[in-house]
Amino acid sequence: MSEFWLISAPGDKENLQALERMNIVTSKSNLSYNTKFAIPDFKLIKRMAQSVAEVMEDSKGKVQENLLANGVDLTSFVTHFEWDMAKYPAKQPLVGVVDTLAKQLAQIETDLKTRTAAYNTLKTNLENLQKKSKGNLFTRTLSDIVSKEDFVLDSEYLVTLLVIVPKPNYTQWQKTYESLSDMVVPRSTKLITEDSEGGLFTVTLFRKVIDDFKTKAKENKFTVREFYYDEKEIKREREELTRLLSDKKQQYGPLLRWLKVNFSEAFIAWIHIKALRVFVESVLRYGLPVNFQAVLLQPHKKSSTKRLREVLNSVFRHLDEVAAASILDASVEIPGLQLNNQDYFPYVYFHIDLSLLD
């Protein structure tokens, strides 16, 4: 399982008894793997993981291997966690450590918003442009299909129209298009492209019969597609697509590298915050002098979590009889706490969920 339970219980002189008891009671039914967690709700982590997934949309199978902390996978980092004395000196006042962590994470979050916003704007513009070349002949752009040679241009009298003809009506079109109106240029039709439903044909005629031709075409289930060939506009659109593709490619590498580096930094800070919370909560619950042992439990499977909770409740019931009773009876309220009873246990407990992409 990718789920961990970070709990704390009162320790003895060497802080070994709590871990040994934990190993004994959980190993009987193979409930969890326990490790010592050394110590001298956080949305940013998940948001960064999801940003990595969004940037790596074409390599989704490789996202997890890019979510590392200090160069190792998240499970290894958590199970071998050690307090970073260089970044967060233990001799520094607690408020100072918290302030350092808060400022670090706030800066990462600010940078994340700026960088992803710029990339997402670029991505959206590119997708909107690419969408124009998708769809059927009635809706998609024609600028990447037609060419200058398909049209009679710069003529005072003649104009070339584009007509969508259903596939079953190809023969009818060839036989009738010249007679749909007066002044249609003979043998001026040409099939430019087709999709699963129909084809796009050209036809050249005199400008003054356009409206009449459109009416007759519609009566015969032929659709005149409104289109004006503008060479400058088509060139501009193609250049814009090329530029956006190039910009996205240029931004992809630096953004992914930044996300990987700062995901690692944010995740490491997050685990340090978890450790701080365990420390503070343990001191508040168990009192001074500081004497507790933090233990990291990794349930072996989802089905064993209920049994594991029952075992822990039994072992540490004496620490808080009211909380222990409330686990069995949801109607029991814990005085002074406005918490869902499911969030409070006789021992200090914090949840660490590494399923960041779910």
Enumerate residues 6+ apart whose C-beta is below 8 A from 331: none
Q: What's the pLDDT tens digit per position in 59-101? A: 988 999 999 999 999 999 999 999 999 999 988 988 889 889 9
**259 burial level (CB within 10 Å; 0-12, 13-18, 19+):** buried
**323 burial level (CB within 10 Å; 0-12, 13-18, 19+):** buried
DSSP letters of 11-47? --TTS-HHHHHHHHHHHTTT-EEEEE------HHHHH
pLDDT at 51: 95
Contact 29, 310 (CB under 8 A): no
Structural class in CATH, domain 3-124+245-330+339-357? mainly alpha
pLDDT at 342: 53
Rounded Cα distance, 67 and 52, in Å: 8
Q: What's the pLDDT tens digit per position in 254-266? A: 999 999 999 999 9
Rounded Cα distance, 250 and 20, in Å: 54
pLDDT at 292: 93
pLDDT at 328: 53
pLDDT at 324: 65
Q: What are the domain boundaries of the chain?
A: 3-124+245-330+339-357, 148-228
Dihedral (CA of 88, 92, 94, 100) sign: negative
pLDDT at 60: 86
**H helical segments located in the chain:** 17-27, 43-55, 74-79, 94-131, 170-176, 210-219, 231-286, 305-316, 321-328
* Fold entry, domain 148-228: Alpha-Beta Plaits (3.30.70)
Residue among 264, 316, 239, 252 at smallest CA distance from 120: 252
Taking 50 as the pLDDT cut, the residues of the chain under it are 41, 330-341
Instruction: Please give the structure tokens belonging to residue 185.
Output: 């240029």
- The pTM score is 0.75
